[in-house]
A and B are shown apart, each in its own frame.
Chain A
Amino acid sequence: MIPQPLQQLIEELCRFPGVGPKTAQRMAFFILSRPRKEAVSLARALVGAKDNLRFCTLCGSLTEADPCAYCTDSRRDRHTICVVQEARDLFAMERTGQYRGLYHVLHGALSPLDGVGPEELRIPDLAKRISEGQVKEIIIATNPNVEGEATAAYIARLCKPLKVKVTRIAFGLPVGGDLEYADDLTLGRALEGRQDM
């Protein structure tokens, strides 16, 4: 018979993606084995993140203050917007350390099967930001799968009459991979996007 508080903890941990009952049980026992202050710190971090984070009204990224640090940073290039699918993609772009413009998070990709159309995403907000006139380039960094590419194509078409340059991040081979193992589509895209040396 599992004590009720432990059972409740396991059930709550089971809600996490990729966590089944066995993993949840292992996590629960790990939490119980640690000092009380660590459990309190974890609980505070959970509640704190939930209570203090919101989406930036301008770019849609996760932030404590609205507008977010990216949108208010005067050192960033305000003429370029990088469009990403999810907030976590924004952090991936930031990790490169090579992009210094603004962002726009769509919160998904066009998916007719799931009933996700342009209105369900933050595409109208993007159009509004572009029409304000300051933006000169839109970099589309949606995922290189069907939904991501269709979303990119839709945004590119939307931006055409707005007279802004629309670019798409390059497709190609992952660093460290062997050429012979690359699939034909990736290799084909890498050839299309080849650069002068």
Chain B
Amino acid sequence: MSRYLKDEALVLKSYPLGESDRLITFLSWNRGKIVAVAKGARKTKSKLASGVDLFTHGNYQFYQGRGLALVTGVEVKDRFIYLRQDPELYPYGFYLVELADRLVPESGLCPEVCSLVLEGWRLLPEVENLPLLIRAFELKLLQSTGYSPFFEGCLQCGASQATVFSVSRGGLICPECSNERGFKVDFLLQPGTIALARVLLRLPLGRVQVVRSRHKQEQELARVTGSFLRYHLQIGPMNSLKYIDSLTR
């Protein structure tokens, strides 16, 4: 097996390492997460430095030795400069990264997630309603990793009038099933919120701009997805979300 690897990837995380190196976490199309060292990337004359910065999409070459892989080459495809220049978009860009990083297992393949994060970064400066894009991203990410919450009807009997969301069951439950089986009622959702969740799950992320929603529905959906992520994936409060909250307070 060749020790030289090539893959299309996104830079998820980048931390200083040692004297002048960087430890990079990539999300790659064909190999999932790759943690690699970019030697000398903090030096001003480094050829790798700008290619391993956060919010970068490119074709990367790695050398897989006995220890951590080394980044040996980079061909940048896109840099998403606006994410670093706009203080409002910046934390949202990170939220997409943090959520994808937590949802994708260390050794899992995730080409759909790569495409989703890339699409998310592209859409951030284009959409007017950032929180709605974030809700759509959360739902699409859950869908592409196989954890999609069920909003199409009652999980038990299929009744379309279900309005009770059970986090532990992972979807909607009609009042009858909820009473009969004693499921815990976590959220009593407005019909508009359910319709919004269905639309966001069905539409491609790029079409989120055509969706019209009310602030209250978005907030309700945010509470549902937040609880869902906490319960099913043990994803606690996220740093980037706290950052966004602190800026909007």
Contact = CB atoms under 8 A, between A and B. Distances in A.
Chain A interface, DSSP helix/strand/loop, else mixed: helix
Interface string A114-126: 1101110000000
Interface of B is mostly: helix
A20 to B, nearest CB: 10
Interface stretch (B79-87, B128-136, B140-148, B186-194): B79-87
B98 A181 contact: no
Nearest to A114: B239
Given A112-B95, A112-B240, A185 B86 contact: no
A151 to B, nearest CB: 9
B50 A113 contact: no
A183 B51 contact: yes
Contact of B44 (A17, A110, A174): A174
Given A113-B94, A181-B47, A183-B50, A150 B84 contact: yes
B55 interface: yes
B55 A146 contact: yes
Contacts, number: 73
A174 B44 CA distance: 7
B107 interface: no
Of listed B90, B95, B242, B247, residue having the most chain A CB within 10 A: B90
A167 interface: no
A157 B61 CA distance: 38
Given A17-B18, A149-B84, A184 B91 contact: no
Interface string A92-125: 0000000000000000001011110111000000
Interface residues of A, number: 26
Interface string B53-84: 11100000000000000000000100100011
A186 B48 CA distance: 11
A176 B45 CA distance: 9
B123 interface: no
Contacts of B76: 183-185
A175 B93 CA distance: 33
Interface of B: 13-14, 18-19, 44-45, 47, 49-51, 53-55, 76, 79, 83-87, 90-91, 94-95, 97-98, 239-240, 242-244, 246-247
Interface of A: 17-18, 110, 112-115, 117-119, 145-147, 149-150, 153-154, 157, 174, 176-177, 181, 183-186
